[in-house]
Amino acid sequence: MARAIVYTEIGSPAVLHLMEIPDPVAARGEVVVRIEAAGVNPIDAKLRSGKRPSPPITEPRPVGFDGAGVVEVLGEGVDRFAVGDRVAIRDAHGTYASALAIATENLEKLPDAVTMAEGAAIGIPSGTAYQALRSLGVTEGDVLLVHAGSGAVGQAAVQFAVAGVRP
């Protein structure tokens, strides 16, 4: 059996529980990833605490949207990944788990020079930074002030801006 952090009621971190879940099975276009690191993002706390509206909880609700791990099983039709590939995970609900079945469009191969912890911290922070720069219409020659440039979103925004990512 796999294990996952879940909650069954809205509340403080005290409502989080470790529970056994069925082993994930890869459907067509999915892989099973053994999770080695999970990203910690504000959206998890907002949903769990009720600060961000969500549907009523009718079954244990998993936590986590970003992560990193190793591909263990390939579903039918998967040819972009191989068993043993190190991957970063984004937009895949339930990454606070020991294993997860994930659609391949939510995965990117993780270079050997990037740790699992670093890979797990890419998804939401980088997506937020990218969207912010696009929404602001930052172009060459603009002056960009990144408040809190040492945080995950700030670091990504600075790197995107320096690299010339444009709307």
pLDDT of residue 142: 87
Does residue 166 have a pLDDT over 70?
no
Pairing of strands 30-38, 107-109: unpaired
Does 153 share its domain with 92?
Answer: no
Q: What is the pLDDT of residue 85?
A: 98
Residues 151 and 106 in one domain: no
Residues 114 and 133 in one domain: no
The CB-side HSE value for 142 (13 A sphere, CA atoms) comes to 17
Verify that 66 and 130 share a domain, yes or no: no
Contact 18, 4 (CB under 8 A): yes
The pLDDT of residue 141? 86
State whether 112 and 140 are in the same domain. no
pLDDT tens, residue by residue, 7-27:
999 999 999 999 999 999 999
For residues 79 and 62, membership in a common domain is answered with yes
Domain at 51, CATH number: 3.90.180.10
Per residue in 23-82, pLDDT (tens digit) is 999 999 999 999 999 999 999 999 999 999 999 999 999 999 999 999 999 999 999 999
- 128 and 53 share one domain: no
Single-letter amino acid, residue 57: I
Helix (H, G, I), strand (E, B) or coil at 167: coil
Summarised one tens digit per residue, pLDDT across range 150-163 is 898 999 999 888 88
Q: Are residues 74 and 19 in the same domain?
A: yes
Looking at the predicted structure, is the pLDDT value of residue 167 above 60? no
Question: In this structure, are 130 and 103 located in the same domain?
Answer: no
Q: Decide: helix, strand or coil at residue 158.
A: helix
Q: How many domains does the chain have?
A: 2
Q: What is the pLDDT of residues 92-127, one digit of tens each?
A: 999 999 999 999 999 999 999 999 999 999 999 999
In whole angstroms, what is the distance from residue 134 CA to residue 166 CA?
Answer: 7
DSSP 75: P
Task: Put the strands of the sheet holding 107-109 in their side by side order.
Answer: 99-103, 30-38, 67-74, 86-89, 107-109
Do residue 57 and residue 136 come from a single domain? no
Beta strands in the chain (DSSP E): 2-7, 16-21, 30-38, 61-62, 67-74, 86-89, 99-103, 107-109
Predicted TM-score (pTM) of this structure = 0.88
Is the domain of 61 the same as that of 104?
Answer: yes
The pLDDT value recorded for residue 108 is 97
Res. 138: pLDDT tops 90: no
Do 159 and 108 sit in the same domain of this protein?
no
Which domain covers residue 151, as residue numbers?
123-163
